[in-house]
Amino acid sequence: MSRELFSIEAEHGVLGAIMMDPSLFDEITSKVKSSDFHDLENAALYQAIVDCHATGDPVDAVTVGLFRPRLPSGDSTLAFAAEIAKNIPSAANWKAYARHVRERAVLRQVVQAADVIREQVSEDRSVAEIIALAQQATADLRDLDDDHPKYHRLDHVMGQAAEGVNDKHLGLRPDWPSTGLHKLDELIQGIRPKKVTIIAGLPGSGKTTLALQIAQHNACVAKLPWLVFSIEMPGEELGVRAIASLGGVDLRRLDNPEKMQDDDWARMVGAVAKAHGAPLFICDDPHQTPASIRSTARQCQREHGLAGIMVDYLGLVQSERRGRTRSEEVGAISKALLRLAKELNVPVIELSQLNRDSTKRVGKRPQASDLRDSGEIEADASCIILVHRDMDSEEGQNGVTELIMPKCRHAKVGSCLVQQQGEYGRFVDFCGNSYPSDEEVEMNRPFVSKYRGNAK
């Protein structure tokens, strides 16, 4: 026997209860929306009750009828409301009525989602993409747990926070994920779960190198499972970069193996051994949407666990819904990835491009407002790291890179210097103290020996 997708009796029960006992207004309206009603007349009456209450008038058949005399059908609101109130024996069972209305509303949403998915099947879409859309559609359905409170007392929240601090002190709770770079760790004070960290820079600045190195460090050193979505770069190229970074093998020799020496081969073997069994997972499918990213991440979490996600890069993620502008689409994608971070309780690192405005400024230092595509990226991020390497300067030519943090919700904004070793596809801690002074520049002193770094 098929289950009904609506119940007129339950809808009348909710309407009658709220008019018979106006003190139930807040509780009922917190659980039921006008869109939950299947019958158009019932939905219109419910919305009239809500709107009438907003004016400060008491809610009953008469006041609602005076507030909105006619229903969409043209019938009298007063007569319709009075008839419903007369036929409801009691308001005592309002919770049961409300539950039936909400459950059937969700069932209709499920059926609607299935219809949308059926339409997608007829289009030229892959099976994996259709499955991802289905998972996203069901994930968006509301929670039916009526008894689960959506608020918590302050002392309860503070108690949980205090327990967390004590557990970290006793070593019972793992530290925040590290970047593997000492100065950067001091600056950002850990990559936080449930939050989004943006790493942005101009093309060729090293933002992919930095983000991949963070994921690589957590997987290979800390043995924490990370998932990398490499939309722009194929997995094989990431593998070559990992060999260079972990083994200290020059990328140019990896591209031209005939130039490799015996120690290069040994370093390559050592790098592969170092990464053996490391829980770093790569998805290099170039066609990604928020739904497909969520589907893959949940699969990885089920099968291997998940401690962090990296997306390279945000501008290449495809929108599931066409917006009026690209800015709107990117904003929606940014919010979807923020929801994913909260849902899976992991940090999400997103890479983003910068526009060229910074190159026109004195000093050429980028700002958070230089993020391309959408201001929502800056708003949704808990931490923003801008990778700045001025190739017109001597220090930039020698790999000195400034990591600028213009926004952070858990640490003081600031910056630090790191050393980029481009031949190895990695960053290392900067051994110098600072950029050269104006006096040193005027004296034309050589600085090559000053800009060096140490790999951990």
Two tokens at 27?
């509780």
Say if 366 falls within a structural domain: yes
pLDDT in tens, 391-411: 878 888 888 888 999 988 888
pTM of the model as a whole: 0.63
Whole-angstrom distance, CA of residue 382 vs CA of residue 316? 21
Say if 161 falls within a structural domain: no
SS3 419: strand
Q: Give the residue with greater pLDDT, 154 vs 343.
A: 343
**CATH number of the CATH domain containing 82:** 1.10.860.10
Query: To which residue do tokens 């980028």 refer?
Result: 366
Whole-angstrom distance, CA of residue 223 vs CA of residue 209? 20
Same domain, 187 and 119: no
Say if 156 falls within a structural domain: no
pLDDT in tens, 187-219: 888 888 888 999 988 888 888 889 888 988 888
Whole-angstrom distance, CA of residue 365 vs CA of residue 166? 40
Residue 180 has pLDDT above 80, yes or no: yes
Q: Which domain holds residue 3?
A: 1-144
**Number of domains into which the chain is organized:** 2
Say if 166 falls within a structural domain: no
Q: What is the mean pLDDT of residues 102-109?
A: 84
| In contact, 207 and 230? CB cutoff 8 Å | no
Same domain, 106 and 185: no
Same domain, 99 and 219: no
Same domain, 22 and 115: yes
Same domain, 118 and 184: no
Same domain, 335 and 409: yes
Whole-angstrom distance, CA of residue 317 vs CA of residue 253? 33
Residue 337 has pLDDT above 60, yes or no: yes
Q: What is the mean pLDDT of residues 92-97?
A: 86
Q: What is the pLDDT of residue 129?
A: 66
Same domain, 363 and 273: yes
Q: What is the mean pLDDT of residues 343-362?
A: 84
Same domain, 276 and 135: no
Say if 234 falls within a structural domain: yes
Q: What is the pLDDT of residue 310?
A: 92
Percent of the residues in the chain that have a pLDDT greater than 90, as a whole number: 5
pLDDT in tens, 269-308: 888 888 888 888 888 888 888 878 888 888 888 888 899 9
Residue 447 has pLDDT above 70, yes or no: no
Same domain, 184 and 250: yes
Same domain, 138 and 183: no
Residue 446 has pLDDT above 80, yes or no: no
Same domain, 282 and 395: yes
Q: What is the mean pLDDT of residues 236-247?
A: 85
DSSP single-letter state for residue 146: T
Whole-angstrom distance, CA of residue 214 vs CA of residue 178? 7
SS3 254: helix
SS3 286: coil
Whole-angstrom distance, CA of residue 19 vs CA of residue 244? 72
